[in-house]
Structure formats: C-alpha cells, structure tokens
Structure 1
C-alpha cells in the first residue's frame, strides 16, 4: 500500500484525487497540502478522505511514511517542489507543464536520476483509447513516411480567466496558451512524430488585455527529411475543435479518428485506396479499449511502475521534450528568427530568468484575484 500526498488543492487536484481513489488496494491519500489550508480541508471533506491538512509542503518532507506525491501547484513552483520530494526519496507525479524552463526540467531530471525514484509528468491525453489506437496505427508504418502533420489546439477562455493571481504572467504561469493549453496536443505530437529540426513561429494577444502572455500562436516545424508540421495554439477559438492529423505518403489518419488513402490514376489525380483504408481500419479496431483513461490511466501506470519497477510512459525525458518544443515556439515568436533544435543552455530561453528577460509582454497584468467562486473546469473537444 502506497501512501500518497497531494500538493495543491486547486482546480486540477480532483482529477488526481479521484484517480487515486480508483485504486484503494494500491494506494491511500494521507495528506493534502495547500497554501490556503481551507482549500485542502474542503478537498478532504469533499472526497471523504482520512488525510491530514498541511499549509507548507516542506513539513511533509519529514514524513517517512509518504511514498508518492502529486504536484498540482502553479507551474513556477513545480521544480522546487518536485526536486525537494525526489531528494527526500519520494516518487513524484508533476502536473503539466513539467516546469517553467528547460533549466528547471534538467534539474528535476537530475534529481530523479540521483534518487532512483520514479518521476512522471502528467500527459493524461496519452492515456486515452483513441490516442493509444492512433499511436499503434502510426507505429505500423502503414500510412508511409509522414510528410505533414496538423495540430489544432483550439480552446476558448473568457477575459476574466486571466484575473486569477498566477495566470497570465510570464513569471508565474510561464507563458500563455502554447504552454498551458496546447501542451497536451504538443506532447502527443512529439510522442507520435518525434522532434523536428527547426521551428518558425509567430504569436499574439488578440482578446485578453489583462495578460502579459499570448492567447494565440502559430508555428511551422520542419524535419530533416523535409516533412512539415503546423501547430496552432489558441484560447480564442469558439467551439474548441481540436485535432491532430498525420498525412503519410500512402494515407492519412487523425484524432478524432478518420482514415483516408489515395491511389494515383494515370493522369495523376486521386482515387480511393479502399484496400489500404480497410487494412488501417482493421488495425485500429483490433486494439482493445483502455480500462482506465486520462489521469486514472496515468496514475495506474505510475502505481504499477512503482510496484513492478518498470518504466512509466510519460517520464521526465518526455516532459522535457514537450517543453523544449514549446520553448522553441516562444523563442522563435519573440525573436522573429527560426530556431534550431535541440535547445540547450546556450538558448536565451533556457532559463526562467532568460524567458523573463526575452519574452514578449503584450499587456500588463491588471487584475489579481485569489480564487474564483466557480472553480469548475471544462475540457475542450474530443481530440
């Protein structure tokens, strides 16, 4: 039985709590920590937990009976918190984004390697049946080499969304929609398609003059083999349609699921390749549905990895790659230059201080409230 502590009792914490409660034979939540203890107490009462309340995570470092922690705090706190618990010999699940800079990612990964403990970065959209099926189809190479990918991470958020005290600032949130909304689609994209060789990007703030950060960005990624990808990150799209499309030389597949394949007529125009479409569809249909999806699926992956000493699907290396691609988008958009990958300490956006000094500030943060009365979260589309 693994004893669990949840650090941060904000809007994302119920996803972790509910997931842990799905596996009572493997784990038990024994502590909830938040700088606002009343919020921690509310979560304990809401989920009928037998857990202690803490206002400072450092107090929890002294508890030898805690095996695993979920870090559900704002992004700028992830590194210090995760490193402290790894150094204390605890396994760590850290919410997305992994940290607010690549320098912090590297420090977290170094701490994980030193401790020998498991580090998992939340990428709950990987742990869904459609994404696992799509990944399996891509791994078969039936669609041929990928020549183009399209990532539409379309969300919509009202003006007051950025009134929350830590949102809408480079210092505390680390960025806008590219980092905090499109991170899921960008993570899936790089997991399925690998890292590009270079990125060219632009970004803007069109609708939220109470935030320093962007509310839309558009990036073009190029691979060494000439393949291209376009990534749109947004919180200004009504309808919140989201999709990932992979165009191969032989066929296209996507989430939401669709398959299409073409053969060439003698004049070069297309006709449907029904045989290949049927073959790809069969591969997709033969994959079993996941018993647990989203945070539940990822937390089960971590619990099993701890018990069985096996790797996790979304580790710190994967988390760092996702942030590396996002950082390249920011660096390109802010400098007006194409950015070559990989990014290391020589990047002006490698450190948090470098980001603060070089990022584009669209507007001043005008409002700062402690919490919303309505703290429910709505998700976007089906991608």
Structure 2
C-alpha cells in the first residue's frame, strides 16, 4: 500500500517510523509522499525518512495514494480527510480527529459514500494490558466494573502556547480536555463502554489562553459504573493514571505518554485471591504505540474490513468532550445523545463560551 503523510511536524516522524516497520510484521506498505505547506520542511522530512516524493498539494498525490496519514494541526483535518475519502483513499488522522461533532459527522457521511474507511490514532487502546483487561471483563472473570478514575496530569509551560494555533478554540478545538486528556479517557471508554451522563467544571487558572487549562468531570456509564476524569496542563509532576475497581480486583495503569506491561498493577480483592493468576504479562507484546495500532488497522484495510477504531468510536469520545464542555459552561448535567445539530456545542466545543473573557492579541509596538 502506498502511503502519504500530510503535515511533517513532530508527530509525523512517529508515523513514518511505524509505517517503515509494517513490512517487518507482514504488511506490505511504503511511505511514498510527504506533504507540508512549507516545501522546505517537506523536503527535509523526505530526506530524513527516505521518502521518494515530497510537495505541498494533496490533490497532486491522491491518485498515487492508498492510505493518507493526516498529521496537520487539528483545524486542517476535516477537509483533508473528506478529500481523501472522496478519492477512495483510507484515512488515518491524529487526535483529536476534528474540532467538533459537526465535523466528525461530515467525515462519517463522506466515509459512508466511499469505498475507503476512516480511523483515528488512539494508540493506547492497543497495548497488551488494555486488551487483557477488556478480555477479562468480557469473560466476566473480574465481575462488574464499579468505580474508575482517569487523570491526565501534564505540564505545559507558557512558552508551549506561543505556537499560534495552540490554546485557541478555532484551531485546537479546546484545551487539555480536547487535546491531551482525550487519550486517557478514550481508554476509559474502551474499558467501560458507553457513558450515559456527565457533570463537569472547567477553568483557566494559569495560562494565557482562550481555552481551559484544567477540567474535571464525573461520569456515569450505561453499565452503572461511575468515574472521575481530570485533565490538567498545570501539574509539574506529570503522570497519566487510570484505576478500575471491579467486583474482583483493582487494576491500575500509571505511565506518561505510553505504557507496557510493567506499568500495570493488578490487586485482587481480599476474598478473590483466585483471580490473581489471571493477569499475565506478555514479553512478546508490542508496547502501546502507533505501530501496535497500525498493524491491525492496515490488515483491515487490506481485507476490506472496518478498522479496529471506527468513526463511530471516534464520535463517542468526541461526544464526551462536548458534554464535558457543555456541562462546565452551562452548569447542567448532560446526557448522552443530547448534543445534536442545532446545539451550539455540536458546532463547536466552545458552545456558548466559558465565563472568562477571550485573550486579546497583543498590539504591535509603535514604530
């Protein structure tokens, strides 16, 4: 399969390395084109990763592309994805897939009319520990899931937001809820399934941005489980932590930007020592990461099957993002399915807007 990367910033290198590794695992793929609005950056990327073609125009290469990886800032995802799907090209986008529910619905419509499929990178779903936990829950070996916590406690210094598109609703779609914590609570959804209602708060406490820099939510799931979610960019000791309490055990994951089996802790309930042997590491498993997701994804592309992360999965996670913002900015409980066309939070994660004032651009110094 011939692959094109659109956008050659930092994350594109991770994609290029994962694509280069696919043939070692039996997937015949080659990175054929690297595109960027900056032609010099596209050329430098092509030289670094041994890519034969480079340029600036997606339309020029769609006829020679089987899979498009969209690694641009989030605001440019939807037009590129729709163009590719209309050309019959599979699409892999970085998170967040879009800036709004309206945009993911537009992509879903384009996929429905296409011979190609769409997926988003949520690489943490594909680590061995997560897959093992999901299997044990599906088998009923751990009993019902009851309580969970999901904390993305990261730190981004003020300088991080000097990049023009960061910290803005119109280009990034939101703050840590949208762009950072989404990986962890996507894992939460992968384990606990559909959510039913959410109550949330958000604040701009310390960064000179339009979006929030902290949010917190309480979520009830359709299966009755309850969870808390915290997303922060103000936490000097950075961690990504998830905890799941089931009837038979507590299962914990503590990492930062990726995990392997050593990052999990399994604690049986005092009266359920029998479940301790169920949790087993797999030394041969790939760590969570882009390659771990791309392998089953490309195999699905080749087989003409739906990818393991579908557009419906992506929408479910984005709907939770929108619900967190809607609850935080309106003070109301938000239930699944409430945010549809005509709702301001369907068109933009900002919705009716937070109580704080937007950051005003600094006026140029007098000549």
TM-score by length of 2: 0.89
User: What stretches of structure 1 of length at least 5 have no aligned partner?
Assistant: 263-271, 369-383
Give distance in 2, aligned partners of 1:313 and 1:199: 26
Measure the CA separation in 1 of the matches of 2:4 and 2:146.
44
| Greater alpha carbon shift after TM alignment, 170-179 vs 200-209 | 200-209
Partners of 1:213 and 1:322 in 2: CA distance: 19
Alpha-carbon offset, residue 274 of structure 1: 5.2
CA contact (8 A) 2:127 2:286 kept: no
Q: Which residue of 1 aligns with 2:290?
A: 295
Structure 2 equivalent of residue 187 of structure 1: 186
Deviations 1:275-294 (A, max 9, x none): 23xx2x32220667434641
Q: Return 5+ residue gaps in structure 2 as ranges.
A: 255-263
Contact 2:329 2:352 in 1 (8 A): no
Question: What is the root-mean-square deviation in Å for CA atoms of aligned residues?
Answer: 2.1
**Corresponding residue of 2:54:** 53
Distance 1:67 1:251 in 2: 44
| Residue of structure 1 equivalent to 2:303 | 308
Distance 2:31 2:244 in 1: 40
Aligned to 1:74: 73
- Of 230, 239, 242, which aligns to 2:240? 242
Counterparts of 1:89 and 1:31, CA distance in 2:
17
Count of residue correspondences = 350
State the shift of 1:302 in Å. 2.0
**Separation of aligned partners in 2, 1:85 and 1:360:** 38
Separation of aligned partners in 2, 1:361 and 1:11: 32
Q: Which residue of 1 aligns with 2:28?
A: 26
Q: Which residue of 2 aligns with 1:284?
A: 279
Residues 300 and 224 of structure 1, relative CA distance in 2, 3 Å threshold: closer
1:334-381 per-position Cα deviation (integer Å, ceiling 9, x unaligned): 1111111123224320013x736535555416579xxxxxxxxxxxxx
Q: Give 1:241 deviation, angstroms.
A: 1.6
Q: Which stretch of structure 1 is more off in the superposition, 190-199 or 337-346?
A: 337-346
Structure 1 match to 2:94: 95
Contact 1:205 1:362 in 2 (8 A): no
Cα offsets for 1:291-349 (capped at 9, x unmatched): 46411111222221122223321121111111111110011111111111123224320
Does structure 2 conserve the Cα–Cα contact (< 8 Å) formed by 1:170 and 1:356? no
* Residues 168, 365 of structure 1: 8 Å contact kept: no
Q: In 2, distance between residues paired with 1:146 and 1:346?
A: 35
2:149 maps to 150
Tell me by how many angstroms 1:165 deviates.
Answer: 1.2
